[in-house]
Structure 1
Amino acid sequence: MDERTGRNAAVAARRGRWTGRLARGAAALLAGGLVGALCAAPAAAAPGLLPAAAAEYPAVVRIDALSKQVASENSTVVVTGTLTNSGTSKFKAPTVKVRQPQARPMKTRSEIAMAASRTTPSTLDGISLDSPAQGLQDLEPGKSEDFSLSVPVSALKVGETGTYELAVDVWGSTGDEKAHPLGIARTFLPYQGKESAQPSQLAVVWPLTHAPVLAAQTMADADQTPVLRDDTLAAELTGDGRLNRLVDLGSGLTGLTWAIDPDLLDTVYAMTKPYRVQRPGTSGESASEENTVPGTGRDAAAAWLAKLRTVLAKPNTQVLSLPYADPDLASIAHNGAGLAGMDTALRKAVTAGQITAEARLSVDAASDVAWPYQGLLDQRTAAVAGAAGGRVLLVDGRSLPDSDKLYYTPNAARSIGNGQTAVVGDSVLSSLFQSDLGSAGDRASAVQHFLAETLTIAFQEPEHPRGLLVLPSRSLTGDAAQALHDAVLGAVGGGWVAPTVLQKVAEQKPDPAANASVPQSYPDEAAGSELTAGELTATMQLQDGVDQLMMILTEPERVRGPFSAAMVRAMSTEWREQPKVGTEFRNGVRSYLDNLKSAVRVPKKTVVTLPGDNATLLVSVRNGLTQSVGNLELKITSAQPNRLRVDYPIQPVVMDAGTSRTFRFPAEAQVNGPVQVTAQLWTTGPDARPYGEAVEFTVDVTSVASGVTYVIAGGTVLMVLAGVRFYLQRKKRRAAGEVDEDPDRPAEGPADGPADGPAGAPRDAGRPSDADPSSAAGDTDRVAGDEKVDH
């Protein structure tokens, strides 16, 4: 380390002429965060190159192309572009001119950043040349005019190898004032003179990813026809489609590192055969002819996959298999690291990813490279990546920024501990290709900026090349890929960049002066798009439902694989950019699993009539799946077994696909009336658990034959006993000389007098009370006996 530090000091001393007042000013700007802001915002990677018009500078000048990306001695550069009047007054006699840059090239990347940050004309842009110049017609507000300037390099007075600013401004007036600058556009012009430098080893990650579209369900046919949630992928695989352009452009580059989501490969492979596409709003339903339509991308998928295999077979190419479906490592680290089964799910995703990539592409694929969202890294994300096997981490320079005091760009490889190596993508170079770059001006700006940066890096220490990484957006667009393709070829053609694969850059010796301290915090702006703890918890809970379904299926592999993949797809990094679609996908997986589980069920019922004390309860079970089920039992439970007892309350359930079956449970009722009964399916085995919802219904016992017999018999016995008692009483009375009274004769005494004797005294105190039913019954029987005797 001391030797390298001493060498740095010596080189710095030799280059004191580069680091005077301008370098100190650049350090102040860096301290103020200007360059950091430029690097952090991909859309503003080079804001000074395509400026917005200010009130005093209403001309918007755009440079669309340079005929030569790299200038050389005695060459001519043709600059083409567009002038737009964004003001409210007419431009009078506008003239487009080229500015002669400063005599020496930019020696530091800070100078490039400052040039890119300027938005209005400045003396730092050089002096406007009288030739070449192009006069244009008066330009009304809102109107545009194209221009083309042929610029001899000799007119620019450049001679030393390096990066120069190339500015084009517009002179004119909006009234009676003299002609003055109305606006300016800047780009960078690398010049290749006699000086040379050892080329930087440049690795470029070339991503092939797509939001998951392969559904968990398949058609219920013998071929298990795959089902996609939409058919948008078909358009990307052909013509000007994004993925087709990426493969075509990547085929023209050597030393590429292809980062591929294996789920994309599986989906494209599924599309090479007949497939179906879900109709909108049916993602949670079991696929059928009614809710799906035929897919249209079969030929495009076959051609794209064949072309990709050919491209990846080229020498000096590396293939990275991302974990299957590219799960969001940062979201998991912050919101789901402690969930049961998460570590296992990630490790399986890594293994499945490598197996899938190698099988579909017939190439070796590295699976030990982790790529967190946007390359943003903190300690928890690094730990989760490491637990899943991530030995090499693709990291954006924003997470590991180097000190402002470090005047050169260090090697990309950094040892961060725990056996992990962070390969840091240069934040400026990477940010140039993280936006759409849909216009020619945007692409030209990105290309020239890339050439300027890489040329400057190479000449920071010409005798000591370093390893660089360009880490574009996961969703690299076709236009951004075109710009990156052109930029790399331009730098390689200039001789200051040598393309290589990620593995070679990762193996380079880390620079001890480079920052290798992984931050503890995670950027707030990125945390806002993470999958929440609730979403990750709900996703992992799917495994319980899948495990339970697996226990009863006779062909579990038809469901296990698709659902395991669907669970990982539900955590895909792609949902960062499409949160609504991600929510719909997760809801669809949950609904589909619930539908599968509920396809084996006890149908709802309310009241069952059970005639008689000995009868049979009939309970049905429905299997709506397309395969047979077993390892199930149907259990019947009576809420009042003393009133209704169910004999043999547990019966095994084995059913063919798409059938219903009625199970008979002998029951014995003790009394009439309603009794609550519960029917519940259970899985069998040591881990038996309820399956599906319990069904409660009422059993209404309407006629208990044995109960009626008991009542009749009891009444007969009572009558016999009463007769015996009456006979004994009568016999006793006769023995005592008593005379039976006739209860029908009138009461004694006057006809108009009271029937009773003195107040409060009964007429016959010795007579049994009418309140005594046994006495009354005895009297009645007695009279009936006398009448029989008289007859």
Structure 2
Amino acid sequence: MDERTGRGTAATGRRGRRAGRSVRSAAALLAGGLVAAIAGAPAAAAAPVLATAAGDYPATVRIDTVSPRTAHENDTVTVTVTVANSGAEKLKSPTLKVRQPNQSRPMTARSELALVATRSTPSNTYDGVALDSPAPELGDLEPGQSRTVPVSLPVSALRAKETGSYELAVDVWGSTGDEKPHSLGIARTYLPFQGRTAAKPSEVAVVWPLTHTPVLVAQTMPDADQTPVLRDDSLAAELTGDGRLNRLVEIGATMPGLTWAIDPNLLDTVYAMTKAYRVQKPGTLGDSAREDNTVQGGGRDAATAWLAKLRQALSAPGTEVVSLPYADPDLASIAHNGAGLKGMDAALRKAVTAGQITTELRLSVDAHSDVAWPYQGWLDQRTAAVSAAAGGRVLLVNGDSMPESDKLSYTPGAARSIGNGQTAVVSDPVLAGPFQHDLAADSDRTAAEQRFLAESLAIAHQEPEHPRGLLVLPARALTVGTAQALHDAMQSASGNGGWVTPVTLQKVAEEKPDPNANADVPGTYPPEAAGSELSSAELAETMSLQDGVDQLLTILTQPERVRGSFGAAMVRAMSTEWRDRPQEGREYRAGVQRYLTNLKSAVRVPTKTMVTLPGDNATLLVSVKNDLTQSVGNLELRISSAQQNRLKIDYPIQPVVLDATTSRTFRFPAEAQVNGPVLVTAQLWTTGPNAQPYGEPVVFTVDVTSVASGVTYVIASGTVLMILAGVRFSLQRKKRRATGEADEDPDRPLDGAEGAPSDAEPPSGSGDTDRVAGDEKVDH
């Protein structure tokens, strides 16, 4: 496009916006006033409040406010301008001057708007001629000094007659030495003008996110109410006064046709705060919650009021509620690094279902749960597939993921059919770009609002009889300043302007897709976004928690006290919110893992090293301890000897049932064959068809010190005597038979002594000794 003739198309505008990416840093550095996001660059930050000037342009100029934002015939426009001396020399007698555009026609092509944003230094050719009036004097400015002044002029001075946007440029004239006064710096913005020509309004959907970094943890207090526990109390400050979430609800409540995108985990957390709740003390992230390591939370009143305020806002006619999956899991990270993990698909589906139930329950509204919002709207084929598996029928997409062809001469509608039953609703990167950042300063908000108004006006007049549905997708962590700017921009475009109609996301998503629009989902993911993803190791570690949780649940008599809290904590560990807070995310995941480990190890066999067994037949004593606050069962204790030939354990398996916070000792009969040490292993096992070891095995040494070997000698000698007696008796009978003698009384003593009493007591000794030795037992 030839800017001097004002002719161009949206195609050249696309090229102009792409060229603008490479120069936006210079524009911010030297111009310092036009805070405009170049198309396709949502990551570009707004210009600083006071940018550093350099070279021939030592003055930094910013436009703080424009009133009215949209001008009409016979209006007077007032611009508040701040000038700062960013150079090393005094600015002598500087004055402000407004440029009158060279062209008497407005900028109607988006390409023209883009080129204005790329200019960095004052230009008589493109910026027009400086008007002699108004020209307020600023007074000398020493290095580092700044001054703010208002400048008012009639709209007619800008030659504004036709509908469209006009460049509004203000520069500083003066000198730093003896040279003639000249331009020392410039700031530019846009002034939309609503003339007699009107167009059918574009339908614009705005997504209004309510999200927060997870603070609810898996722990609950060991009381009957299971009092919830938060890792910190930061959320309380956001729910009241000028807190971010409180202001978002207040601002959003005044916007018609708004689509609220809400993280159900936030609602659960706030609801928990409406009752008594506790907050972990520093350094106790993975510990079981107790009175001594937590403090009472202080946000009960704020949480109660905020929920009531939100319910009231959502009751407005035309309002739409989108329930994000519970805890807003990072779909892109899962797609790239965790899609094949065991249980991941099921976890995502549960997060979607639980999210919708939670949202509708906490807010008493109907909520859509078929909307997927990948991180910053970046989409690739794998992310789309994972979103589909989780039920994501509508995808919120950053326009830079699916850029339009240079050959397209207009801005198409946002809805695109991408196959697999999915619709991508693509956010226009220029309309949404400025709202991806924290617009805290007045100048930042003004620049974003004026750019939005100019761009949306240009879109409406591209095809005045064929309005399109558009999407504005702000940052997930929408700040108060940015929310206010988006509110004011939509209000001006739909109210005083009339070229925008606010509608819901569903309305835009259901529009017939433009066949000329780009519907190709890219196969690659931006490297700059991939760098902040959750890693394969982090996702695998999180999903592996489920096995430990499942095993813990099998032994609990009240598994419901643990099941829900751990399931939610696992999804929170994969939240998109950790993208911008990676260290906090790592700490949260470590806390969940540590807490699970603590719970599982609360049921254990206490460590022992040496047991002395002072006999061949004895009893081994092994204890099992339950430090949990509920009873456990479905367990058994198994004892095994490393050398069965030396130490045999009878009945080596015994069932284990323990009340809360108790310990029990189990008795295992053992039989030793020889003296010396033998290794014994004690291991808890779960019961049932899928029995598994529970906890770590405890290995200890059993030292056998006194096998009763004398018993063997007594038995052996007794046997020999009996044999000898039998031989003697047999020989005597043979002798008597040979001599013809009759047998004597067979019951008489073998010595045959006559006169020996028949009822004589046996001599004391071996008989009692055998009995005592055979019955000896030692408990240990």
TM-score, normalised to structure 1's length?
0.87
SS in 1 for 2:121: coil
Letter in 1 for 2:276: P
Relative to structure 1, the CA distance from residue 566 to residue 22 in structure 2 (aligned partners, 3 Å threshold; closer, same or farther) is closer
Q: Distance in 2 between matches of 1:326 and 1:16?
A: 45
Q: Distance in 2 between matches of 1:604 and 1:215?
A: 31
For the 8 Å contact 1:48–1:185, the answer to whether it is kept is: no
Q: Distance in 2 between matches of 1:496 and 1:567?
A: 46
**1:161 paired to 2:163:** yes
1:607 counterpart (606, 610, 614): 610
| Equivalent residue number for residue 59 of structure 1 | 59
Unaligned runs of 5+ in 1: 1-11, 722-791
Relative to structure 1, the CA distance from residue 267 to residue 26 in structure 2 (aligned partners, 3 Å threshold; closer, same or farther) is closer
Cα distance per residue 1:234-265 (max 9 Å; x no partner): 11101111101100000010000000000000
**1:112 paired to 2:113:** yes
| Equivalent residue number for residue 769 of structure 2 | none
Q: Distance in 2 between matches of 1:719 and 1:553?
A: 63
| Equivalent residue number for residue 277 of structure 2 | 275
Letter in 2 for 1:275: Y
Q: Distance in 1 between matches of 2:149 and 2:160?
A: 24
**1:387 paired to 2:389:** yes
1:179 counterpart (178, 181, 186): 181
| Equivalent residue number for residue 331 of structure 1 | 333
**1:149 paired to 2:151:** yes
**1:317 paired to 2:319:** yes
Q: Distance in 1 between matches of 2:8 and 2:485?
A: 35
Q: Distance in 1 between matches of 2:161 and 2:49?
A: 23
1:29 counterpart (12, 16, 40): 16
SS in 2 for 1:415: strand
SS in 2 for 1:190: strand
Q: Distance in 2 between matches of 1:445 and 1:95?
A: 22
Unaligned runs of 5+ in 2: 25-37, 724-780
| Equivalent residue number for residue 640 of structure 2 | 637
**1:365 paired to 2:367:** yes
Letter in 2 for 1:272: T
1:511 counterpart (493, 501, 514): 514
Cα distance per residue 1:507-540 (max 9 Å; x no partner): 1111111000000000010011111001111111
Alignment of 1:678-693 (within 5 A): 678-693=681-696
Q: How much does 1:353 deviate?
A: 0.3
Alignment of 1:208-223 (within 5 A): 208-223=210-225
For the 8 Å contact 1:52–1:119, the answer to whether it is kept is: no
2:598 counterpart (595, 614, 618): 595
For the 8 Å contact 1:215–1:228, the answer to whether it is kept is: yes
Letter in 2 for 1:512: P
Q: Distance in 2 between matches of 1:577 and 1:81?
A: 34
For the 8 Å contact 2:209–2:476, the answer to whether it is kept is: yes
Q: Distance in 2 between matches of 1:500 and 1:510?
A: 17
Letter in 2 for 1:279: K
* Superposed CA RMSD: 2.3
| Equivalent residue number for residue 72 of structure 1 | 72
SS in 2 for 1:703: coil
Q: How much does 1:40 deviate?
A: 4.4
| Equivalent residue number for residue 649 of structure 1 | 652
Letter in 2 for 1:73: E
Alignment of 1:182-221 (within 5 A): 182-221=184-223
Alignment of 1:150-549 (within 5 A): 150-493=152-495, 494-549=497-552
Letter in 2 for 1:118: R
**1:676 paired to 2:663:** no
Q: Distance in 2 between matches of 1:697 and 1:651?
A: 18
Q: How much does 1:643 deviate?
A: 1.4
SS in 2 for 1:70: coil
For the 8 Å contact 2:431–2:452, the answer to whether it is kept is: yes
For the 8 Å contact 1:392–1:421, the answer to whether it is kept is: yes
For the 8 Å contact 2:50–2:84, the answer to whether it is kept is: no
For the 8 Å contact 2:470–2:508, the answer to whether it is kept is: yes
Cα distance per residue 1:468-495 (max 9 Å; x no partner): 0000000011111011111110111110
Letter in 1 for 2:277: Y
SS in 2 for 1:130: coil
SS in 1 for 2:519: coil
| Equivalent residue number for residue 94 of structure 2 | 94
For the 8 Å contact 1:30–1:36, the answer to whether it is kept is: no
Relative to structure 1, the CA distance from residue 24 to residue 631 in structure 2 (aligned partners, 3 Å threshold; closer, same or farther) is closer
1:698 counterpart (687, 690, 701): 701
| Equivalent residue number for residue 666 of structure 1 | 669
Q: How much does 1:709 deviate?
A: 2.7
Cα distance per residue 1:124-165 (max 9 Å; x no partner): 111110111101111000000111111111222110010111
SS in 2 for 1:131: coil
For the 8 Å contact 1:50–1:186, the answer to whether it is kept is: no
Q: How much does 1:29 deviate?
A: 3.4
| Equivalent residue number for residue 560 of structure 2 | 557
Larger radius of gyration: 1
Q: How much does 1:34 deviate?
A: 3.5
Q: Distance in 2 between matches of 1:262 and 1:294?
A: 24
| Equivalent residue number for residue 4 of structure 1 | none
Cα distance per residue 1:390-413 (max 9 Å; x no partner): 111000100110012212110000
Letter in 1 for 2:87: G
Relative to structure 1, the CA distance from residue 340 to residue 703 in structure 2 (aligned partners, 3 Å threshold; closer, same or farther) is same
For the 8 Å contact 1:630–1:655, the answer to whether it is kept is: yes
| Equivalent residue number for residue 778 of structure 2 | none
**1:126 paired to 2:128:** yes
For the 8 Å contact 1:18–1:107, the answer to whether it is kept is: no
Q: Distance in 2 between matches of 1:278 and 1:312?
A: 33
Count of paired positions: 708
TM-score, normalised to structure 2's length?
0.88
For the 8 Å contact 1:187–1:449, the answer to whether it is kept is: yes
| Equivalent residue number for residue 629 of structure 2 | 626
Relative to structure 1, the CA distance from residue 48 to residue 228 in structure 2 (aligned partners, 3 Å threshold; closer, same or farther) is closer
| Equivalent residue number for residue 759 of structure 1 | none
Q: Distance in 1 between matches of 2:596 and 2:340?
A: 24
Q: Distance in 2 between matches of 1:27 and 1:349?
A: 39
Q: Distance in 2 between matches of 1:17 and 1:405?
A: 22
Q: How much does 1:121 deviate?
A: 0.5
Letter in 2 for 1:372: P
Relative to structure 1, the CA distance from residue 21 to residue 612 in structure 2 (aligned partners, 3 Å threshold; closer, same or farther) is closer
Q: How much does 1:177 deviate?
A: 0.3
For the 8 Å contact 2:107–2:165, the answer to whether it is kept is: yes
Relative to structure 1, the CA distance from residue 51 to residue 122 in structure 2 (aligned partners, 3 Å threshold; closer, same or farther) is farther
Relative to structure 1, the CA distance from residue 454 to residue 119 in structure 2 (aligned partners, 3 Å threshold; closer, same or farther) is same
Q: Distance in 2 between matches of 1:419 and 1:57?
A: 55
Relative to structure 1, the CA distance from residue 551 to residue 301 in structure 2 (aligned partners, 3 Å threshold; closer, same or farther) is same
Q: Distance in 1 between matches of 2:259 and 2:437?
A: 20
Q: Distance in 2 between matches of 1:100 and 1:48?
A: 26
Q: Distance in 2 between matches of 1:88 and 1:573?
A: 46
Relative to structure 1, the CA distance from residue 28 to residue 474 in structure 2 (aligned partners, 3 Å threshold; closer, same or farther) is closer
Task: Quote the sequence identity (%).
Answer: 70
For the 8 Å contact 1:397–1:425, the answer to whether it is kept is: yes
SS in 1 for 2:62: strand
